[in-house]
Amino acid sequence: MNAKPDILGVKHIALAHGNGGRLMRELIEHIFARHLSNPLLDVQADAVPLPTPDGELMFTTDGFTVQPLEFPGGDIGSLAVHGTVNDLAVTGATPLYFSLNAFIEEGLEVAQLERVIASLGRAAESAGVRIAAGDTKVVPRGEGGGLYLATTGVGARRKDLRLDMRQIRDGDAILVSGPVGDHGIAVMLAREEFGLRGDLQSDCASVLPLTQALLPFEGLRFMRDPTRGGLAMIAHEIRRATGMGIHMNEPAIPVREAVASVCEMLGYDPLYLACEGRVVAVIAPEQAAAALEAWRALPQGRDAALIGKVDKTRRFVVMETALGGERMLDELEDDPLPRIC
């Protein structure tokens, strides 16, 4: 028995779906517009106005190339929304509008494309953002990874709010909102590399509730989401920007047992693995306990922890181990898990 035709009447994307003609129009109307429809998204227009509340605009752009396209806890669609939302949220902005560019490889199953775009639409609706513009291209078979997504995000922030590494002071506390390394290991297990399988879920999610919970704290200096390069690379960014060292406490850093086990077997360090639903915050030490309490009151922040401090007496990023010794955390040279986000 023949398989039931997909929504486009075919089962796989063809080069003709990117040629500007009828097939491209049907692709946009039946998949993208159907799942992303809102008053701003005009598939016939080349540009749209963006109304904004009082404040200043924040602007970000990102690209997403994860493999596999669907993984436990998310997919490239939800990842694209959450990644862009989070880049805005950690600046103190409220995300408002996105543009979306989709680069589809010839031969991608239409059913998989629809699942991903539907997931993207649900994530955008949940985060309160609207897809205001977009573009679609189809590349020949063998010239892409199935689907690449590129986003641009616009958000609004209070004019008086300044979160910047240059605000960081000696003695400031470093917080993380939850366990690190979940996304990196979940995607790796989804690839079934090294003969390993597991049910670990990616932490892929919007961090907007976490960032907004800290905005009332006058001592909040800086926030960042630890994606590629993980927690360790944020520590190095702070060190370079401030000229001060970072002292972290290894036993205080939350790492799930499953993540720690896989890392131990394969020689990975969870501090260098990508997270997609966590926040690292630097805050005045006298407000750290209250900030942790605010995070732990949220579902995403139940495992939030104070993991270290900024220390001008040091020059490097230093980790105090469970045994009481110290080790330096080097900057990441090679990408341990490519095509992760």
| Domain formed by 15-157, architecture | 2-Layer Sandwich (3.30)
Least confident residue range of 145-154, 165-174, 264-273, 326-335: 326-335
pLDDT value, residue 1: 37
Q: Does the structure show a pLDDT above 70 at 2?
A: no
CATH 3.90.650.10 placement within the chain? 165-328
* Predicted confidence (pLDDT) per residue in 301-314, tens digit: 999 999 999 999 98
**What are 299's two structure tokens?**
């579902």
pLDDT confidence band for 334 (50 / 70 / 90): low
CATH of domain 165-328: 3.90.650.10
pLDDT confidence band for 335 (50 / 70 / 90): low
**What are 21's two structure tokens?**
């003609």
* Predicted confidence (pLDDT) per residue in 183-202, tens digit: 999 998 888 766 677 778 99
Over range 22-39, report the average pLDDT: 83
Longest Cα separation, the chain: 73
Beta sheet of 56-64, edge-to-edge order: 56-64, 147-157, 94-105, 130-139
Average of per-residue pLDDT values in the chain: 89
Q: Does the structure show a pLDDT above 90 at 42?
A: no
CATH 3.30.1330.10 placement within the chain? 15-157
- % pLDDT > 90, the chain: 64
pLDDT confidence band for 338 (50 / 70 / 90): confident
pLDDT value, residue 67: 92
Over range 145-174, report the average pLDDT: 92
Rounded to whole angstroms, how far apart are CA atoms 28 and 43? 8
pLDDT confidence band for 39 (50 / 70 / 90): confident
Over range 19-42, report the average pLDDT: 78
Over range 240-250, report the average pLDDT: 94
Of 177, 179, 171, 172, the C-alpha closest to 293 is: 177
CA dist 304 to 38, 73, 95, 175, Å? 36, 20, 23, 7
pLDDT value, residue 37: 75
Q: What is the pTM of this model?
A: 0.86
pLDDT value, residue 201: 93
